[in-house]
Structure 1
Amino acid sequence: MISAALRASSLAFHSPRLGSLPLHHRPLSSPFIARAALATQAQSTATASPVIGIRREDKNRWERRVALTPAHIRKLIKETGARVLVQPSNTRIFNNASFEKAGAVIEEDLSKADIILGIKEVPIDKMIPNKTYLVFSHTHKGQPYNMPSLQAFLDKSIRLIDYELMTDPATGKRLVLFGKHAGYAGMIDGLHGLGQRLLALGYNSPFIHMGQAHVYPNLECVNTKLRHVADIISDQGLPDAFAPMVFTFTGAGNVTQGARAIFDNLPHKNVTADELPFIARDRYNERYRTRLLALQIGAQDYLERIGGGSYDRAEYREFPDRYRSVFAQKIAPYTTMLINGIYWESKYPRLMTTRDLADIQRQRNLKHRMLAIADISCDIGGSLEFMSHASTIDAPFFYVDAVNGVEHKDIEKPGVQINSIDNLPTELPFEASKHFGNSLYPFAKSLASDKLAADPVLSKAIICENGALSKLHRHLEKDLLSVGEIRVADKRRKRVLLAGSGMVSQPLVDYLASSKDTDIKIASNDLDEARRIAYQFPNTEAALLDVSDTLGLDKLVRDSDVVVSLVPAPLHPQIAHSAIRNGKHVVTASYISPEMQKLNDQARAASVTVLNEIGLDPGIDHCSAMKLIDAAKARGSKIRSFISWCGGLTAPEDSNNQLGYKFSWSPRGVMTAGLNSAQFKINGQVRHILEKTLFENKFANVPLYPGFAFEGLANRDSLQYADIYGLKLDEMDTMFRGTLRYQGYSDILNCFLKLGFLDLDPKSAVDVQLPRKFLATVVGFDDGIPLNVDTIRKILRQRLGGIADPALLERFILACEEIDILPAEPSQLPSTNQRLKAPTALDAFSQLLQRSLKFEKEERDMVCMYHEFGIETPEGKYDVESSSLVVYGNNETGETAMARTVGVPAAIATRLLLEGKIQTKGVIRPTIPEIYNPLIERLEQTGLIFSEQAKQGIHNSLQHKMAWN
């Protein structure tokens, strides 16, 4: 419900001192009163016309449209004397100079404007309070994914006018729209997609020559291409297997009219729904090879009155629950491509359900039917239940295999192709903007002439103003309450979806479940494991998770406020896609992948925070480092050196194997990290380490503490963190991030690497009955050779390139015995008598490590983190500051240090999002004060406390003490 602050704002509206209120807060019935002169334009009269602002479209890089073209603005200024501000844009179809030439002022800051015109939704962080906005807000039907946006309009006391609600008072028809251009682009893209899909199924077709709409400069070029395709259809025909090709059109508005305007350029015959069975029986008729069939249907064609009786339009509008759709039975089995332009609301029956689609896809005789859907209406989960999300111009198509409950993007796999781009007109930006501007211009003129109150079209299109919903839209209050937006959710419980139930889940759930106002749903592909954790707390439940099931995933996400993704790192983008679609925040502990970074613009446009790298390393290391870096900068100091070490290790007393290591984390992840390349800067020199040579280029001695015999490995690309941390690499003599291990670790793993145990080539796939066979396969033992110690040493020495250090060879043989790929005595077989099957040698090796080098009940792990900064003070002195953290696992409770230092930071970040403490949107990491300050403070409350020290003199710095091979 609307907050107290907003109610206060609404009450202020009734003050008799209207002249003291901002323009936006004045009633529509009041005249606009004089305002302060703009700095750039002197005012000689007591009143001034409203200033019009044109915002830059920033939903995505393809959005090139504009609400008013330069020609419209020139006319507006001439006819009204209006002042027009235009935000600069380098992607807009009309360049900045053309607006200046028309008389507008190019201005980044639109806060001087009273009325702001745009096209797509406005990111919440870019909404300017106390203004009037005209945009497509996609909120008037209570769309859940945009309710946070509507609440923001209310919170910021913005008057919102939605183009979709600007209708003719007499006919009710929309007056300002892109409908036909959406239809044009949707049909063009649909034909392009159909041609691609047919080719993937093994059939050439005339449609293969169609490109996406955006590749054509204008509609004239499109029509030229369509004439070419039409000639091919007439001359060469269509694929026999798919004839007759029926294109079914729903809706009768501008969207469908635009689609038909494109389609009608192709040779076709119009048919009716009643003719479909007869056409199907006559499918081998030659006339179906050289022309398409167009089926235009209305509600009377696919709706059936429950209990009998004929379709009655008036009854259907008043009592839609008396009807059901028979589209799936009557029309879909004959349809090749559905072009959906229908208007739909939740009170109406769906055109098709997911079950309907599955029933069709199960029938073998319909395998060439329902190949494609151009869902131009783009109602997510609307008239087509299985249409789960809007696609993009970059990735316009996805596929729904309803039989198997799978959604995918593989054009060759089963499924109906769906094109659901939600900004289709921007593929034709020049003509779309001209058309839209022509429609909008009379109302822009009313606004510029200070006649908003007198314009019935504009007045009726107001969704909210003065912090309150307009009378026609007060029903949206229930949608604002149900959407789960945190700032209106303080009357209900907070909800967290935990995707994944792996090793770090327990501490995370422990932390979140301690808040009595929070419910947690643990969704995992291992339901038993999820239940084991969930049953410990009354406010926690378990659910089955299938990340590939987009519909099921969306449902889980919609029912949450924040999603914590602990699934394998490659699956994070799928979780984030769903969260962005549904307006939910995301937390992950993994590095920001390129795929995740690509979601930044979408996340910002949806006002969603996708917080990554909030575990141990990355995570706590960012927070600790940035706290010291920002503090040094605030004192006017410069960072000359940065060294960061972190390691998840065994406690020293439990490091009783040749690797000095046991696994509290995925062995596969640890092993693949050892294959990475790395680069860093140390003592003024940039060093590069090639892939698969990391173990050979170890730091043999890392003297952090006298009591620990550490060695270290460079961690990926250290240089990039100069930018991430706001440092200047050219001013630094050292920039390094590394991973800690106990001395001797790298030498042993380097032997395994050289022998092929870390091979990721699918050709190294393993399927053996005994681990000894794995050793023989990888190393190249001949089963006929007697297995004795001398033979093993000889063969291993040969394969390892004549290793010179006999002590290392002995340690390596002992390591092989410890992981059960060698018997301790020639007469003994390995104790692990289990079949070993894996897609690569590295995966098989990881399985063995997981079995043999695990923590026993009384053993514990350890985490060690150490940052060191070389700082040049304003006085020219060199200080060395360090921040360190050492954490041990609890061998009584079984909680590992790794799980604690990954799970607890992620849990704290989740809590901060639930409380609305993190306002930054987009794909981010915890390198900003609004995250790292409260996170460090709350970490300390859990006992995770950094120890900080300061020394003077460069001789005390770690960079001069580390020994690198």
Structure 2
Amino acid sequence: MTMLSLMRAMQRPGRAPAPVLAAQARRASSLVVGIRREDKNRWERRVPLTPAHVKRLIAETGARVLVQPSNTRIFNDAAFERAGAAIEEDLSKADAIFGIKEVPIDKLIPGKTYVIFSHTHKGQPYNMPTLRAILDKRIRLLDYELMVDPADGKRLVLFGTYAGRAGMIDGLHGLGQRLLALGYNSPLIHMAQAHSYPNLECVATKLGHVGDIIADQGLPAAFAPMLFTFTGAGNVARGAREIFDHLPHENVTVDQLPAIARDRHNPRYRSRLLALQVGVADYLERIGGGAYDRAEYREHPDRYRSLFAQKIAPHTTMLVNGIYWEPKYPRLMTTADLAAIQRRPDLKSRMLAIADISCDIGGSLEFMSHASTIDRPFFYVDAVRGTEHHDVERPGVQINSIDNLPTELPLEASQFFADALYPYAKELAAGNLGDTTVLKNAIICQAGSLEKRHKHLEADIAKARGIRVADTRRKRVLLAGSGMVTQPLVEHLARTKDTDITIASNNLGEARSLAHQFAGAQAEMLDIADTKALDGLVRDSNVVVSLVPAPLHPQIAEAAIRNGKHMVTASYTSDEMARLDQQARDASITVINEIGLDPGIDHCSAMKIIDEAKQRGGKIRSFISWCGGLAAPECSANQLGYKFSWSPRGVMTAGLNPARFKINKELRDIPSGALFRNRFAQVPLFPGFAFEGLANRDSLQYADIYGLQLDEMDTMFRGTLRFAGYSEILDALLRLGFLSLDPSSAVDRCSAPEFLAQTIGLEKGATDHSLVAAKLAQALGTTPGSTLVARLMLAFEELGMLPGKGAARDTLTAPTALDALSGVLQRSLRFGPGERDMVCLFHEFGIENADGTYDVHTSSLVAYGDPEAGQTAMARTVGVPAAIATRLLLEDAVKTRGVIRPTIPEIYNPLIDRLAQGGIVFADHSRRGVHNSLQQRMAWN
């Protein structure tokens, strides 16, 4: 037909040329196809149909294609536009929507046809809420996993080969990292994670280089021969072998393993890897004897058991697992199997890694507890201790279990997948769903009802009723700091298996030592000055716990607010922290300060009693609160009567603070530096303890904090407990200059005796103790034979600061005298093996009741450390409250926003209850009248 005749034909009423009519007919019967933007995680860059396939689909079916915009997809929006698709955010006009991963419930469009990997047809519990929503929204769901050949049941549309390829690349990368962490360089250290390579051609080039290094320089002798064991015979295994086979290797059989083990020092094993491909017949044993029978195994798998852990695993360096598993089959390895291997000294370093490409949680490998991620590809299982962790240097087998491996090779994986999918996408776009067996068999549900072959899922959906999708996600806590009080906090958080804890510290060794003790914990380097790195750590958490030195809290709080994360800290609310209150409110963030012991538990117990008194119509006329972290009496045999369960510097600087309080209707102020001279020489809380006490900062401010009327109160006092004699020694040290924060008092490479001489004004080489005593007496205005000088000399002897035989041999370098003294105290007055500390907290309230009567209410807590558990009372009473507050934030149980204290019922009520469950319990007593109340009996010096 000429162009003229075509134009004339188009002008005739009721007539159209045949090609036009055919195209119109195609469009009339074709569907609108949507391609959704992947949003399960930022790494998902694959597409179900490439632009080239979309172009074919439009040309061959006349379908209209809508593509959601995306900045992360491997093919950009412009490529789809050039193919003829329309870029539209709203896919509600589409009849059939194609994607890769699961669709969030709130983004499911009712009444549509979805074609995705739904991960529901096995009854996976974590996706049953989604399947229920799909039924409620009357969506037709087709699953790629169910697109199978009617003749043999083999899957037709899959990424399996690319999962195997990416999993093997990641596995080699991880093994190289693990070997280095164990102290061994290897050629595998040059392998990167799969997503680092633009395409498989680059991967092949890198493997060639690594292979050359293996042949030239060899493998670590300590781990030779390095055996890679492959399970499965499908696409996953084939993809993994395609990658592995680029490296120099030798194929072996199960029967050869014993001989190889005996010949393990053969030099040839240094220049090549070993590959073992196993099938079920290689490791299954028929219970009761008899040969393996494939038909019987499929019909009666309970008649068989796996000997993989006995026959193959002990020889294996890396297991590459690609088998399909169902609960009716015996597991490849149980947790007990792994523990048995890890207990044997000759095997504990043999099985280093598992690339579980099948990613079957709790499946063929019982100890494979969860999927890892591209961001955090490896975790480690220590089956002997029953722990999991993320520290590459800690004992355990490395597991790589990423559930979206093909997206690490998004270009070629998408092209491969789309080639397989296109024939069925074309049938669906043409409206031929009912005529295509493969598509019909892939339907899980439609019109609000499960297909007959999937009716069994109703029971799984019912079990999952009430489960929210968010409930299945793991929670992440960032702990900034790794000091003395962190262990109980991590232990408390680690009790729930849904929480990962990152311990970030400038002392990475200390952080790793702590992380090694707990499943779900890992260590990271912390540099608070590096804002970008700090933001990265904070952004990857749900709640931030800051246990760094108090002056650094504001920087971490700013990062938390900036990244929309809640925060917890045990320190006092500084002016800098208080100024962040409005920013936190604006960001809808909660920053809980003062949630340790003192401040912390004391707030909670005090506010509970105060609020209850107010509810009865009572008024608080006096409030006294004492708290102290001390050595247990039997461990206090030194001149200070004290040992350190937390930072000595913090203890020393606290003694330099000024103080304000009200007692017996009299306001009193103690200036900075005068606190030790103005001590309470007697604090008679319990007859068995010889307590003295120091006023604690500004007690008056707590009248406002606790909602009290200061002008109506006789007494408002908060103090710190010590054993009798402490303040006399500290006051002397202060007067002598040992608590100086002046840079001129800096100590540079001095011994402890030289530090003493420098500070009191003796010549550096002075060794005569009488000279020291005389100088002390002169400086303090007393005599060398006075009790004070005698006590000081004993104290300096205990601290290793007197010259002579008992002198400490370490060298001190510190910016101030106080810092140098803190180092001496840290060394000399630490708790020894079997020694324990003690915490004492005591409140007394004078309450005027509504009827005019007067009650004295006391609330006390005495707790001791547990040397066998390695926990101090101080660490437990600071760390556990902070952990409970963290848990409350993770549970979204705290609705108040801003910079707050635990003085509100939504915090203190559950915190007191949970403390009691952990054995931290207050003893409360009340008596009528004011006779012999504490405020009358405290002796202020």
TM range (shorter): 0.5 to 0.7
Does residue 343 of structure 2 align to residue 362 of structure 1? yes
1:233 Cα deviation after fit = 3.2
Does residue 423 of structure 2 align to residue 450 of structure 1? no
Q: In the alignment, which of 138, 142, 151 is matched to residue 119 of structure 2?
A: 138
1:757–1:841 CA contact under 8 A, matched in 2: no
Q: Deviations over 1:686-729 (max 9, x none)?
A: xxxxxx9999999999xxxx999999xxxxxxxxxxxxxxxxxx
Residue type at the aligned position of 1:427: E
Does residue 303 of structure 2 align to residue 314 of structure 1? no
- Residue matched to 2:46: 65
Q: Deviations over 1:367-408 (max 9, x none)?
A: 452122111111122211222222222332222222233333
1:612–1:926 CA contact under 8 A, matched in 2: no
Q: Secondary structure at the match of 2:399?
A: strand
Residue type at the aligned position of 1:404: R
- Residue matched to 2:34: 53
- Residue matched to 2:140: 159
- Residue matched to 2:842: 856
1:214 Cα deviation after fit = 1.6
Q: Deviations over 1:92-130 (max 9, x none)?
A: 111111111111122223233232221122233333333
Q: In the alignment, which of 408, 431, 434 is matched to residue 415 of structure 2?
A: 434
Does residue 281 of structure 2 align to residue 295 of structure 1? no
- Residue matched to 1:597: 539
Distance in 1 (alpha carbons) for counterparts of 2:473 and 2:194: 41
- Residue matched to 2:224: 243
Does residue 403 of structure 2 align to residue 422 of structure 1? yes
Does residue 170 of structure 2 align to residue 228 of structure 1? no
2:624–2:845 CA contact under 8 A, matched in 1: no
Does residue 325 of structure 2 align to residue 383 of structure 1? no
Q: Secondary structure at the match of 1:486?
A: coil
- Residue matched to 1:97: 78
| Greater C-alpha radius of gyration | 2
Q: Secondary structure at the match of 2:433?
A: coil
Residue type at the aligned position of 2:287: I
Cα distance change, pair 147–51 in 1 and its aligned pair in 2 (3 A) = same
Cα distance change, pair 793–700 in 1 and its aligned pair in 2 (3 A) = farther
Matches within 5 A, 1:207-226: 207-226=188-207
Q: Secondary structure at the match of 1:296?
A: strand
Q: Secondary structure at the match of 1:110?
A: coil
- Residue matched to 1:462: 443
Q: Secondary structure at the match of 2:92?
A: helix
- Residue matched to 1:347: 328
1:547–1:574 CA contact under 8 A, matched in 2: no
Q: In the alignment, which of 153, 171, 183 is matched to residue 152 of structure 2?
A: 171
1:371–1:416 CA contact under 8 A, matched in 2: yes
Distance in 1 (alpha carbons) for counterparts of 2:145 and 2:253: 31
1:457 Cα deviation after fit = 1.7
Q: Deviations over 1:172-226 (max 9, x none)?
A: 1111111001111111121222223333334333323322222221111111222
Matches within 5 A, 1:658-737: none
Q: Secondary structure at the match of 2:289?
A: coil
Residue type at the aligned position of 2:432: K
> What's the TM-score, normalizing by structure 1?
0.57
- Residue matched to 1:279: 260
Total equivalences in the alignment: 688
Matches within 5 A, 1:828-867: 854-856=840-842, 858=844
Distance in 2 (alpha carbons) for counterparts of 1:184 and 1:47: 42
1:51–1:82 CA contact under 8 A, matched in 2: yes
Distance in 2 (alpha carbons) for counterparts of 1:411 and 1:566: 14
Does residue 440 of structure 2 align to residue 486 of structure 1? no
Cα distance change, pair 695–471 in 1 and its aligned pair in 2 (3 A) = farther
Q: In the alignment, which of 230, 234, 251 is matched to residue 253 of structure 1?
A: 234
1:166 Cα deviation after fit = 1.3
Cα distance change, pair 353–181 in 1 and its aligned pair in 2 (3 A) = same
Distance in 1 (alpha carbons) for counterparts of 2:518 and 2:131: 22
Distance in 2 (alpha carbons) for counterparts of 1:900 and 1:860: 30
Residue type at the aligned position of 1:392: T
| Structure 2, unaligned runs of 5 or more | 1-23, 478-485, 506-510, 522-533, 544-563, 607-620, 631-642, 672-703, 707-715, 721-729, 742-746, 748-752, 762-766, 801-821, 848-854, 864-876, 913-941
- Residue matched to 1:87: 68
Identity of aligned residues (%): 53
1:248 Cα deviation after fit = 0.8
1:296 Cα deviation after fit = 0.9
Q: Deviations over 1:428-465 (max 9, x none)?
A: 11100111111111122122112223222222222233
Residue type at the aligned position of 1:855: L
1:889 Cα deviation after fit = 13
Cα distance change, pair 401–451 in 1 and its aligned pair in 2 (3 A) = same
Q: Secondary structure at the match of 1:185?
A: helix
Q: In the alignment, which of 158, 162, 171 is matched to residue 181 of structure 1?
A: 162
1:614–1:925 CA contact under 8 A, matched in 2: no
Q: Secondary structure at the match of 1:366?
A: coil
Cα distance change, pair 368–629 in 1 and its aligned pair in 2 (3 A) = closer
- Residue matched to 2:385: 404
- Residue matched to 2:3: none
1:789–1:826 CA contact under 8 A, matched in 2: no
Q: Secondary structure at the match of 2:274?
A: strand
Distance in 2 (alpha carbons) for counterparts of 1:458 and 1:845: 75
Distance in 1 (alpha carbons) for counterparts of 2:160 and 2:144: 12
Distance in 2 (alpha carbons) for counterparts of 1:468 and 1:710: 77
Q: Secondary structure at the match of 1:855?
A: strand
Cα distance change, pair 623–197 in 1 and its aligned pair in 2 (3 A) = closer
Cα distance change, pair 97–783 in 1 and its aligned pair in 2 (3 A) = farther
> What's the TM-score, normalizing by structure 2?
0.58
Distance in 2 (alpha carbons) for counterparts of 1:326 and 1:211: 34
Does residue 169 of structure 2 align to residue 192 of structure 1? no
Cα distance change, pair 351–672 in 1 and its aligned pair in 2 (3 A) = farther
Q: Secondary structure at the match of 1:230?
A: helix
Distance in 2 (alpha carbons) for counterparts of 1:600 and 1:545: 18
Cα distance change, pair 284–495 in 1 and its aligned pair in 2 (3 A) = closer
Does residue 285 of structure 2 align to residue 304 of structure 1? yes
Distance in 1 (alpha carbons) for counterparts of 2:879 and 2:342: 45
Distance in 1 (alpha carbons) for counterparts of 2:738 and 2:859: 39
Residue type at the aligned position of 1:352: M
| Structure 1, unaligned runs of 5 or more | 1-42, 501-523, 531-543, 580-591, 602-609, 632-643, 676-691, 712-738, 759-763, 765-772, 798-821, 862-887, 914-923, 945-965
Q: Secondary structure at the match of 2:238?
A: helix
Cα distance change, pair 828–286 in 1 and its aligned pair in 2 (3 A) = closer
1:206–1:233 CA contact under 8 A, matched in 2: yes
1:345 Cα deviation after fit = 1.6
Cα distance change, pair 425–830 in 1 and its aligned pair in 2 (3 A) = farther
Cα distance change, pair 239–656 in 1 and its aligned pair in 2 (3 A) = closer
1:194–1:207 CA contact under 8 A, matched in 2: yes
Cα distance change, pair 289–578 in 1 and its aligned pair in 2 (3 A) = closer
Cα distance change, pair 889–845 in 1 and its aligned pair in 2 (3 A) = farther
Residue type at the aligned position of 1:856: F
1:51–1:83 CA contact under 8 A, matched in 2: yes
2:33–2:96 CA contact under 8 A, matched in 1: yes
Q: Secondary structure at the match of 1:365?
A: coil
1:361 Cα deviation after fit = 2.0
1:248–1:297 CA contact under 8 A, matched in 2: yes
